[in-house]
Amino acid sequence: MEKRKLGNTGLEVSLIGFGGFHLLEIPAEKARNLLNEYIDMGGNYIETAADYGDGESERKIGPVIEKRRDEVVLASKTGSRIKEGALRDVNRTLNNLRTDHLDILFMHAVKSFEELETIFSEGGAYEAFLQLKEEGKVDN
């Protein structure tokens, strides 16, 4: 599968990514089979979120990631706007995904300038990102 560089991250991602939201609609075994087939076909970009089924999507992805972590670029999200909540979200995500780090962390569903200001304010989620990056738990 064709891959492209992702901005200035140094990462190369497949043109077709694998989103975790709809894994909520299928059994765990089918999710594992789909993920393994996607990776076998050369796909390497997997994106999910803690909010997808209160971690259910991540828990379905985890058994595959645990065995094939070095083959994928793994992205997840936090919906928290404050540092404490974002740290809690990401640590739970890492546990659910059975990995020690994320390649990419997104701030999920930012809907207003006020939310963006909170994220970048003192005690905001951006401080969590910086801490997690320093700890090696998030790369980008």
For 32-37, which contacts have Cβ atoms below 8 Å and span 24 or more sequence positions? 32/60, 32/63, 32/64, 35/61, 35/64, 36/64, 36/68
Look at residue 18 in the predicted model and tell me its pLDDT: 98
Stretches where the chain sits below pLDDT 70 are none
Per-residue model confidence as pLDDT tens digits over 95-124: 999 999 999 999 999 999 999 999 999 999
Residue indicated by tokens 């997840």? 76
Mean pLDDT of all residues belonging to the chain: 97
pTM equals: 0.94
